[in-house]
Structure 1
């Protein structure tokens, strides 16, 4: 298909777009370490709190106080409690010892936001970033000076070259040396170090840290305990870390910390059998303060001017080519093709217009807040109501996810998909503007005992049918072939007449041709809705969305959240609860109370039947969305008997979890043998890019 060359007006808009894209990308590269990384999270299996409860109020108080306390503290650490039993909240936040106070405060603030989103209404939650970590709980864990088994293990999936035992021994020496230095010589109980190894892996870098309120002896004991677990979980790995609430360590084959190392150890003279980390006794060579030659600083001093010069020359050439060769296809910093640039260009909105529409993002116009930022209601000059998604500077949704959402949503046209009104990329802001949905998302109504009464049987059927049609369009009818990958109740919005619209395509993956199945190194989404093959092995397909849709059907019919706890002694998740009643023939008993006696029992059973078919363990056994729509609309189509649904969420209150930095693996304990919840946001290697 021929594409017309852009006219002068188009070129004048393309250059600012490229410049703004370049500046945004540069800004993301300069953000403090770990600030924009997706967190690893662990959600404890405790009682949930409710909205507007005393527990939530106490948690909000700590969410306001701890970031300020941590950033003001010279040790970048804060802990505290709020309220009285049974609504008391205890929290602890620790920032990495080499970041600044501003970055620390921002990281802890984001941690509170992400914890409440990723572990929604859970009284016990923890999130871990490169720059900081946070835990809050209704249990007084801050009274202990040990990790109490609450630790996670993160590992690099790649192995080092032989000899493995020599490498493990070198890592143990480095970690024990930095542990001694952190415990005895640092007010922040923090130390970094480097050690020469061999020609293949010339340098090993290490980091150890304790909470600063620990004594030197307590710190060293805590670090010695987790370092002793290294051979069991991290032997031969090119990088790894164990993070506990009171102490943590990390090692890798590249410099991942800021500034020069606290310690420099010489290379071992010869490979030796790996000693027990608890028995290693070394005398580290400490470089005197003021005399060390900071190799990182030298490299930066040499490379930075070169990079700046190259960037300057590149921008000059780009401007020259734009002016002299207008008829040739151009490429912006987003690396999208010409038609994609033009579609985005037509959606560009001025920031002054959006400030006026939202009353300068007034708190009174705030609709909600999530891990990616805050959403505000606004009114454009033509009286069109809008929802403005203001992505935070520390948001995990960066240029790539923003590019996904822009390119995909701008091209998708269906009454059951949310419509993108425009975008703004000015003044370091990243703003996405959508049509306003007055009834917000399904979860705000469905899981509220009073509001759920608004959803009679007719409205619920309309919502189920609309979501199914929207998914069929994404999977089969759209030219782009989209897998959403994060379909859940909070990502389905309702307009004034309760028509459902699927939203938030930042995690979607674009498929072309007949491609229908893929493997990713980056598992993203929400547990309770994720299919077992995707959560455990990174395998995703259109059948992954079908699984999420099946969970949604069961939530809509029962009024229960897939992450809720219903019977602590028996069923602890929605799928097992529904299956239990289905096999006993008592399925009506778990339907939403507002539907009992007011909805046709035969239709309710049919919808539950379809929901169970969608959550089958084997993806092959799940129907396509076009088949689901036929099932929903037909009164005569026979339905096959469902098999037992997949169950894959471990039942444990412990954080002792092992993650791979290539793909999630089965949960293992650090020291007590009890499994933990696997984080869906554990990996950040594979970039999501339309193709």
Structure 2
């Protein structure tokens, strides 16, 4: 400051006109510095999960963590803005990753932010898996490799401090336009390094500023999918507010009505609006009034009798048009789904069959080909002329309310592509008949396997564990990885199908509910937890709950661990239940410790004693029923 004062006095004496230029330069310098500095700033959020074990101070893990955070804060790491590294050997190996915001071009500022984030995450958390976000950077470490990515969004508390906008519907339109353009630019423009910032003018002399960013180890389709999930949550929490931010492990998204990023890295968008209609308003009003008058005159002339006579004919014609329109829509390449591997699947790849060909394939829906019956209708096995087997769902009249619902189900299921979900192959429409065509599962449903004594006796623990893991992977995709947030709400053994290799696949999405928020639902393991499992667990007799055949072929410790995870999934407080991504982690790593479960929320049990003479197995002296009670 002494130097600045001397410079000002010299310029006043010799160059008075230079004072203004120097002062403006200093203000610009101070503004840029304040934009990029993080000194004294609080983190946006910290992820420190309680379900993971704590590492011991001065342990091998702790020492490796110090090395990793030191590498992330090095000059070479911060210069590029993104860095991943690891230190140590299993089971104490530590993986680390740092990312600076794309508009932070000063490597020193990036380094300072990462250093502060590393220090704060060490001081605030001792979990073996943690992450911290700042405005300008983020730091993450874990005992597990980052290759397996599951989207889990976080809502910083500052979202709820923003004011509401006056016209939420219109504001959401402008916000969607801005964030969609930024997301496509960041994900698919290689020169953007998975980052984009921009702005769009909003009516009322306002501007919406937006920013999106992915970690640079993401694929373009993976980044786009992450943005899609993040924007769904951003819309839910904040599209009616003047600002909002969503943070996740792999992508971030933020908007405000004030500029919060370096303008030099942004680009300006123009919202498309129609022009030229205002000066023709009188014509618009004239057309509406004339149409209303003509319509009233026609209705009066036709009369009630003619209207009733033609009612049914009009409905049938509308239905026929709707069916024809649906087929035209579904056969155009607009409907596109993304598989888990990032491949694109268009509706052109769906199979469209005639009712006649399906009747031939199913032997006219004969009872010998009937696979099952549910509230939605019946399912039949079919064989195509090329020898391929299919499953045909024949929707009952009670299971749908119209052509629109049928269309929505086809479009929805076509977007869900995963090896642990039953795949939709196509559909057929013919008058009253509405049919869905699925891949055929040769081993039928899980209930026919586990409730059949002969079939069950041939299974080993490895097969059971594979089925459990498969269902968990399917739910993880529905909950966190699919473009839509899906809660099945009717998961039970007869809705889990098995292929020829006993690969588990989840079926029957007719009654699912769409949600735009994260759910903690471990339904895959709930079936293992009856008020009997809990009682045996408390008594230290958990292995008494397991089929003896399973114990003969598997490790008792793995079986008990699955029961343990199942009990955690039905804790009374939802915050104490693991997410499906954590369930997969717990199933796949025996080194991760598990917290002790508490009393489950769902059941009281009553024991019904039976006369041994009335059962086929005299050793079955009691059956336990669970009465599900509301919390």
Q: What's the TM-score once normalised by structure 2's chain length?
A: 0.43
Higher RCO (Cα < 8 Å, 6 or more apart):
1
More helix per residue: 2
Q: What's the TM-score once normalised by structure 1's chain length?
A: 0.39
